[in-house]
């Protein structure tokens, strides 16, 4: 059974940093169509940072220059380094992947994120 498990969330003050990790079991991250999403109370889920179908990275405008997505093939893990955190970054953070994508599919491929972790809470206080 495929499982994605996030960790690394917590409570920090504005300006602080956190590093989120996502470990997969019974699944190997392909490096394509995988990334981080978040959902704050009362708001829709939004993409934060992803590896696109060609392996390039994309970031939400609100986190550009502050967050960095990374992967470790040897550890089969996905990471999100979050620096200069702001109160508006407070949300539940999820890692997700399109399990049907196992190799390069091109930037324009419409990723369908169908495997999700349970989430890790990030709270940033002012």
- Give the pLDDT confidence of 8-30 residue by residue, as tens digits: 999 999 999 999 999 998 899 99
Backbone angles phi, psi at 122, to 5 degrees: -120, 125
Contact by Cβ (8 Å): 120, 93: yes
Contact by Cβ (8 Å): 84, 20: no
**What pLDDT, in 10s, does the model give residues 32-49?**
999 999 999 999 999 999
């Amino acid at each position: 059974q495929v499982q994605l498990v996030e960790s690394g969330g917590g409570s920090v003050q504005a300006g602080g940093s956190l590093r989120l990790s996502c470990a997969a079991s019974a699944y190997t991250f392909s490096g394509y169509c995988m990334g981080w999403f978040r959902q704050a109370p009362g708001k829709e889920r939004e993409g934060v940072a992803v590896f696109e179908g060609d392996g390039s990275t994309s970031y939400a405008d609100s986190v550009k220059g502050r967050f960095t997505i990374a992967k470790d093939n040897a550890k089969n893990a996905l990471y999100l380094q979050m620096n200069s955190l702001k109160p508006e970054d407070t949300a539940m953070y999820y890692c997700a992947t399109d399990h049907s994508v196992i190799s390069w599919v091109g930037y324009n491929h419409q990723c369908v994120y169908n495997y999700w972790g349970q989430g890790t809470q990030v709270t940033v206080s002012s």
